[in-house]
Every structure is written in C-alpha cells, then in structure tokens.
C-alpha cells in the first residue's frame, strides 16, 4: 500500500512567541494565583489548553477578508457576504449576527418561553445555555444516553439523546410545556462527543409528533459532521457540507458560538429556517441587546473573517487534521495508562481524575489538583470540569458531587503543532507517574456564584 504522509495542513507565516518559565517560577506563580489556573496570566502559560473558544488562528484568507470590512452601521456589505454563506450552509431563510454564542442564547431562547416554568430539553445544555434558559424563566432538562457516563465504553456517538427519556419528559410535563429541544452538536459537556444523524432524525421525528421546535446549538457542528462521515453507515462518500446541511434539516433554528467552528476570535449567529414571526421578534430584541440587525455587536471586518472561516471549517482536510490532532494527544495518554474518556471527543481530551487521583475526595477537587500539577510540571494550562465547577446545592449549601471529575485539555484550532502535543502528553504522564503525591485543595476564598472562575485555594498538606 502507498504510504500517505500527514502533518499540519498549513505552514506558518506569522508567529507569536510563547515564554517558558522554570518549575520554581511556576510554583510561585500558581501560589500567587491562589492555585486557580483562571487567575494565571496567559504570559505565564507555555501551552494554553483552557478552551478552544476564540483561541484559534485565522488563515491568510481571513486576514485578507478583514481588509474588505464595511463598517457601515446599517446594511453593511460584510453582513450580506456573511448572510449568503450562512444561508448556503444551513439552507435557512433568516440570519442575524451576534457577538458570541451567549448573545444568540440571550436573544433567541426567551422567544419560545410563553410562560414561566416551561422546559427546554437538550442532550446536555452547555453552561451558558442553561443559564439563559433559566434567565428566560424556563427550566433545563438533560437527556443524554447513559453510555456517555461509561468512560471506557467504545460507543461512536456518546453525545446522543436518550430518546426514551426525551419522550418520557415530554409526556410527563405535557408537550405544550416544552419550549424547545436543543441539540448540542458536538455535545461539549459530554466530552465533545458527537451526535449521530440517526439520532438527530429521531429527535426531529419525536419533536414533530408533539409539535415542538428543535434548535441546534452548533458551536462545533462541522466537527460533528466529520464524525458522522467517519463513523455512520452511509455517509463515507458524502461531502461534509452535505452532511452539515442534513444536520440543519432536522432543526428549525441554529444558534452558534462562531468562536469554535467559525474559526474566528469573536462572533456568533442566529439562523432560522422559515419562521418569519420568530425572526421578526429576534430582530427586535437584538437591537437593544447586541446592536442593529446587520451587525449584532460585530465589526464589519469580523463578519468578513467569519464568512471565510465558516467555509474553511468545512474543509475535510482541515477537519481530519483537527480531529486527528486531538486524538493524537489522547492516544498518547491512553497508551501510557492515563485514564481518559474514550473514544476521544472532537475538541478536547478529557482526563478522568476520579481514577487519576482516587485518594482525593470530590470536595477536595481531584481535577483541580491534577490541573495544577500539570501546570507546575510544564506550564501547560488545562481546566477543571467537575465538582468545583458544579458548585453547591442552592438549598442545603452542601458541595454537590459531580458524576465525573475531568481535567479538560482543550485544543485551540490551527495553533499548536504535534510537538506541542508531545510536551502536553509528557507532562501529564509525568504527573500520572507521581500521582500518589497529589494533594487535595480547600478554599481560602469561595466566590458565591460561578465559583470556579474567581475562588482561591490552598493545598491540603
């Protein structure tokens, strides 16, 4: 067989220097940051895997497109260019730009909540989506398949809806009480796990049967389409754009944080298939919240960069590199025995810190302990997604125990090379080998809301 050679499908024309610190410096830096990686200066981080959101690198075509930005307040050319790309990809009739994903959530989600106490059902609501559901007076219910929580089970679509739970909830609450069904693709909180086309189709069928609207929360919809091509029968010979369009055919609305698969640093969008009434409502609300409907909080040049980025993110060579790079890191960790969620998701490797540091109880935050140790080891910043993030029970004020304790190593798009991934893997493996020495943490200050961002800690020695 002929060998194929695979590496990054780009060469580097502009570079951003990054600084390496010494272990002794990092020990002090982390202490000064109250042992909270969110409080580190990015200058003191060598490889930053906090998020894949807005951290990607733009291409020469995107930078060139920015020079064509039309900064008119109303009717900008940049808006019309972006609109035509969004309509082409989605097949939807209506489009409104917003400044990022949560802007789309804030403008759109209240429109379907006719009275307080209605429900949105999702495979898993992302945090900001859940927050906007609740701010709109509704409640958020998750309905993901149980395989999602079996971290070793080799299931190709762990992000899928549990159809039985979905239908059960609809019948229990009454179809008229369901504001909408939100399909998160890929399913970020489930580990960047994809949702199959079969599952999307089945959800749409249930939604139609009960007269409920479906919404795609598609920050990583292109990565989802790639997984479908790779794993689902009947899609191997299809183009990514056609798979993407079929995904959109099963929804009525598309909300996007364009900071992921839009390949831009800031941006978002709302697209609506055919409901002119909803479009008119969103156009009304976007003005006070985000800006006039032909810019929605974005610069003209940002809309041009996004128009190009949306197309680039559907390129199959790019997507193969993208998914393979995340998998490369995950496979290296797995081969060394580090417990991770498997199969590996689209945008991040989720390290299972329950098994990594079983001697640290949930309320001493095992994933924070691993994350901090990895920073001290090599200046690599991951993020805790576990009991620290989950917070306290609002009534009893007890620490809630998360089902999973993850350190998320989130890979920015087109930013780091495979040598960077080698450094990350070596650092995590080194910490794993000395895992018995890891210590739990206690609060020195606990912030009352969204505590993971601003709280400070000390190690329990």
Q: Give CA–CA dist 353/384, Å, rounded.
A: 9
Q: Helices marked H in 238-299 — which ranges?
A: 240-249, 276-289
Stretch that binds ligand F0G, among 86-94, 97-105, 108-116, 368-376 (CB under 6 A): 97-105
From 21, 39, 51, 399, residue interacting with ligand F0G (rule: CB under 6 A): 51
**Annotated catalytic residue 217:** yes
From 36, 224, 247, 257, residue interacting with ligand F0G (rule: CB under 6 A): 257
Segment 129 to 168, residues that bind ligand F0G, using CB under 6 A: 129
CB closer to ligand F0G, 128 vs 165: 128
**Annotated catalytic residue 219:** yes
Question: What is the token pair recorded at 452?
Answer: 């993971």
The least CB distance from residue 219 to ligand F0G, in Å, is 4
Stretch that binds ligand F0G, among 100-108, 171-179, 287-295, 417-425 (CB under 6 A): 100-108
CB closer to ligand F0G, 100 vs 199: 100
The least CB distance from residue 260 to ligand F0G, in Å, is 7
Strand order, beta sheet including 383-385: 348-352, 406-410, 383-385
Q: Respond yes or no on whether the N-terminal peptide bond of residue 287 is cis (omega within 30° of 0).
A: no
From 26, 40, 49, 53, residue interacting with ligand F0G (rule: CB under 6 A): 53
From 26, 102, 132, 158, residue interacting with ligand F0G (rule: CB under 6 A): 102
Phi-psi region of 137 (alpha: psi -120 to 50; beta: other; left: phi over 0): left
| Contacts with ligand F0G, 180-199, as mask; x by CB under 6 A | ----x---x-----------
Please tell me whether residue 100 binds ligand F0G under the rule CB under 6 A. Answer: yes
The least CB distance from residue 265 to ligand F0G, in Å, is 10
Those residues whose C-beta lies under 8 Å from the C-beta of residue 100, and which sit 6 or more positions away, are 54, 257, 258, 259, 266, 267, 268
| Residue among 430, 431, 357 at smallest CA distance from 387 | 357
Of the residues 229, 260, 354, 420, only one is catalytic, namely 260
Q: Give CA–CA dist 113/290, Å, rounded.
A: 20
Q: Give CA–CA dist 426/418, Å, rounded.
A: 12
Please tell me whether residue 247 binds ligand F0G under the rule CB under 6 A. Answer: no
CB closer to ligand F0G, 53 vs 364: 53
Question: What is the token pair recorded at 157?
Answer: 């679509």
Q: Give CA–CA dist 352/371, Å, rounded.
A: 11
Please tell me whether residue 259 binds ligand F0G under the rule CB under 6 A. Answer: yes
| Contacts with ligand F0G, 115-134, as mask; x by CB under 6 A | -----------x-xx-----
Question: What is the token pair recorded at 286?
Answer: 């976007």
**Annotated catalytic residue 260:** yes
From 44, 70, 142, 217, residue interacting with ligand F0G (rule: CB under 6 A): 217
The DSSP bridge pattern shows strands 268-272 and 253-257 to be: antiparallel
Strands, E assignment, 340-447: 348-352, 380-381, 383-385, 406-410, 441-445
Q: Give CA–CA dist 351/355, Å, rounded.
A: 9
Instruction: Say how many residues touch ligand F0G, by CB under 6 A.
Output: 15
The least CB distance from residue 54 to ligand F0G, in Å, is 7
Of the residues 70, 92, 452, 457, only one is catalytic, namely 452
DSSP states of 9-74 as a string? SS--SS--------HHHHHHHHHHTTT-GGGS-GGG-SEE-S-SSS-PPPPHHHHHHHTT----SS
Of the residues 217, 252, 302, 304, only one is catalytic, namely 217
| Contacts with ligand F0G, 386-425, as mask; x by CB under 6 A | ----------------------------------------
101 alpha-carbon distance from chain centroid? 10
CB closer to ligand F0G, 298 vs 360: 298
The least CB distance from residue 140 to ligand F0G, in Å, is 13
Please tell me whether residue 101 binds ligand F0G under the rule CB under 6 A. Answer: yes
| Residue among 454, 437, 447 at smallest CA distance from 39 | 454
Q: Give CA–CA dist 444/236, Å, rounded.
A: 53
| Residue among 44, 109, 441 at smallest CA distance from 289 | 109
Those residues whose C-beta lies under 8 Å from the C-beta of residue 389, and which sit 6 or more positions away, are 402, 452
Question: What is the token pair recorded at 401?
Answer: 């125990």
CB closer to ligand F0G, 212 vs 383: 383
Of the residues 73, 149, 445, 453, only one is catalytic, namely 73
Active site amino acids: 73, 126-127, 217, 219, 260, 452
The residues binding ligand F0G (CB under 6 A) are: 51, 53, 100-102, 126, 128-129, 184, 188, 217, 219, 257, 259, 268
């Amino acid at each position: 067989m002929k060998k194929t050679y695979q590496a990054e499908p780009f060469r580097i024309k502009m570079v951003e220097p990054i600084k390496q610190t010494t272990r002794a410096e990092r020990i002090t830096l982390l202490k000064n940051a109250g042992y909270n990686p969110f409080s580190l200066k990015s200058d003191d981080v060598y490889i930053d895997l906090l998020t894949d959101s807005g951290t990607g690198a733009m291409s020469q075509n995107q930078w060139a497109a920015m020079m064509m930005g039309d900064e008119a307040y109303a009717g900008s050319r940049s808006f019309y260019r972006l609109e035509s790309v969004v309509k082409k990809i989605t097949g939807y009739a209506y489009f409104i730009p917003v400044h990022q994903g949560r802007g789309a959530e804030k403008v759109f989600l209240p429109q379907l909540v006719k009275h307080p106490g209605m429900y949105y059902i999702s495979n898993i609501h992302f945090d900001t989506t859940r927050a906007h559901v609740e701010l709109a007076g509704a409640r958020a219910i998750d309905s993901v398949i149980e395989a999602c929580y079996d971290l070793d089970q080799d299931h190709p679509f762990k992000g899928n809806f549990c159809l039985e739970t979905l239908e059960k909830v609809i019948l229990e609450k009454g179809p008229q009480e369901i504001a909408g069904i939100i399909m998160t693709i890929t399913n970020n909180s489930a580990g960047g796990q994809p949702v199959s086309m079969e599952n999307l189709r089945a959800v749409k069928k249930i939604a139609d049967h009960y007269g409920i609207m479906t919404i795609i929360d598609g920050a990583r919809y292109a990565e989802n389409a790639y997984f479908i091509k790779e794993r689902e029968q009947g899609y191997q010979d299809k183009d990514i754009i056609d798979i993407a369009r079929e995904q959109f055919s099963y929804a009525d609305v598309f909300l996007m944080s364009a900071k992921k698969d839009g390949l831009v640093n800031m941006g978002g969008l709302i697209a609506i298939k055919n409901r002119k009434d909803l479009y008119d409502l969103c156009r009304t609300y976007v003005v006070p919240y985000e800006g006039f409907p032909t810019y929605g909080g974005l610069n003209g040049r940002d809309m041009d960069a996004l128009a190009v980025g949306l197309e680039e993110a559907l390129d199959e060579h790019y997507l193969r590199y993208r998914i393979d790079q995340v998998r490369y890191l995950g496979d290296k960790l797995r081969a060394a025995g580090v417990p991770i969620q498997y199969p590996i998701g689209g945008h991040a490797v989720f390290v299972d810190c329950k098994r990594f540091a079983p001697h640290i109880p949930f309320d001493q935050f095992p994933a924070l302990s691993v994350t901090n140790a990895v920073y001290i080891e090599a200046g690599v910043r991951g993020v805790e997604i576990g009991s620290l993030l989950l917070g306290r029970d609002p009534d009893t004020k007890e620490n809630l125990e998360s089902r999973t304790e993850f350190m998320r190593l989130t890979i920015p798009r087109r930013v780091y090379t495979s040598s960077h991934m080698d450094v990350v893997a070596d650092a995590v493996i080194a910490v794993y080998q000395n895992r018995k020495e890891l210590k739990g943490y206690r609060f020195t200050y606990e912030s009352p809301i969204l505590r993971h961002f601003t709280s400070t800690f000390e190690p329990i020695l």
